[in-house]
Amino acid sequence: MAISLTAVILLTTAVLMLSVELAAGYTFSSRLIHGFSDEAVSFWASKGKSMTWPKRESVEHMRLLLGNDWKRQRLKLGSQKQLLFPSEGSETHFYGNELSWLHYVWIDIGTPNTSFLVALDAGSDLLWLPCNCVQCAPLSSSYYSMLDKDLNEYSPARSSSSKHLSCSHQLCELGPNCPSPKEHCPYTVNYYSENTSSSGFLFEDQLHLTSVGGHEHQGSVLAPIVIGCGSKQSGNYLSGAAPDGVMGLGPGEISVPSLLAKSGFVPRSFSLCFGKSNSGTIFFGDKGPENQRRSSFVSLDGNYNTYVVEVQHYCVGGTCPKQSGFQALVDSGSSFTFLPSEIFTKVVTEFEEQMNATRLAIEDFPCCYKASPQGLPKIPSMKLLLAANQSFVIQNPMFTISSGQGDNFYCVGLLPIEGMIGIIGQNFMEGYRLVFDWENMKLGWSRSKCQDIDGTAKVSPTPPPSGLTSNPLPTTEQQRNPGGHAVAPAIAGKATPKPSAASLLAVSWHYTMSSLIFLLVVWLPYLI
């Protein structure tokens, strides 16, 4: 119906008067001529061009108009910005308890490329890899029953595109502690888990990516990024979590999404999708669908340095306990969801009343229920009400755990945490495509099976051909004064134009429109 209506409008609207009235009181007008009109035929005839038009209102004419509609539709779709994903493929992997319930993705780094299986962590910023190891986790596949190939250790000396970051670089956080600005920049990252850290030195190298969408055909992209050469790990990183490194996806200046945006590849936004089949996707530059729900990121202690949202109520079934609101870090690197202790008690009490079953504590999980031959009673629904009354429904709040003696238990993936800052972990993200849009300071989410974004094909990360898209890492000066779409407007702000600039803009706009109308008259038959 929409296409037929478009055709009728195009047939009946041969001449359109376009008037633009500026603040100064001047009125400019131009005639817009349809590409298949008699006037257009006369125009081309006067230029010595013999053009054959279909007879108006004929079947051929209608088909031509319909074909042009489809062309415009494709042009609109093609104007979307490109997405990037790792050259090994956009698919993420989940290995359960063996690799600490985290989601992973294969990436390729350096020249020649080396593959790494890195954990995805939206709660931190740095991409680090086991490197020149002094204290690292085992990397042999024989140590991990679910892996079919050995993990790798990064070696800067073996990558021709690797170079060290000096202490004088803007991204060197520990630079002021260096003996000399020319020294190699060290790093130390401490994580939420007790005594868990990674330390070493920072390098610049190239991340192999694949582009899809936009005006470009699918192809290879080399992106300069910063890598932590992690020679020493501790805590959980020695006992099953992220043995081959962590990709920090946070909004910090050193993270992969931030550096991709600063180099001009994609907007400062990415998506994670965690499916119910223990796999998902990751896309850089993804802004999400138009119909997704959104909630603003908020500051934490006055700083916008991580993905934090405002939870106004935590609801169980149709009940939303009073004073159940809190701020929550949206963290894909956290396997489970944590609530401030007081709110945790309220939620679990309400959940237990609605479950009408006896609650047990199994290992570290205080809210579990034993499975009977008849199964469990109906499990109450759960949802988070975020700012602006945006509802985030938990798709699957429970998981199963075995006692090792043949008994199975259903447990709520909730744990208490000290303080008033909660954590929305990846167990609550299941079944959603989450968009971390730092440009617009929004978290977006939409129901997804993680199969609704094209471009998951693997592209072999061969050495770059001539003309390959590859931008340099932003210089120190660019780091201090980033420009373009790489800066979140809510942080950087926008300069207000001077009055004199506004009047110039109005005149320039008029001449641009006049030129555009002329070009449409002359070139419309070729464009459509």
Residues forming the active site: 121, 331
Contact assessment for residue 124 and residue 247, using Cβ atoms and an 8 Å cutoff: no
CA distance from start to end of the chain: 21
Calculate helix-pair angle for 38-46, 499-527, nearest 10 degrees: 90
249 exposed, middle or buried (CB, 10 Å; 0-12, 13-18, 19+)? buried
Query: Tokens for 277?
Result: 């089949």
Q: Give the integer Cα–Cα distance in Å for 183 and 337.
A: 41
Q: Give the integer Cα–Cα distance in Å for 264 and 90.
A: 20
Query: Tokens for 357?
Result: 């079953």
In the numeric block, the tokens 């991709």 are attached to 260
DSSP character for 141?
A: G
- What φ, ψ does residue 192 adopt, rounded to 5°? -60, -40
User: Which pairing describes strands 127-135 and 163-164: parallel, antiparallel, or unpaired?
Assistant: unpaired
Which amino acid, 135? Q
In the numeric block, the tokens 């006055």 are attached to 302
Query: Across the strands, what pairs with 269?
Result: 437
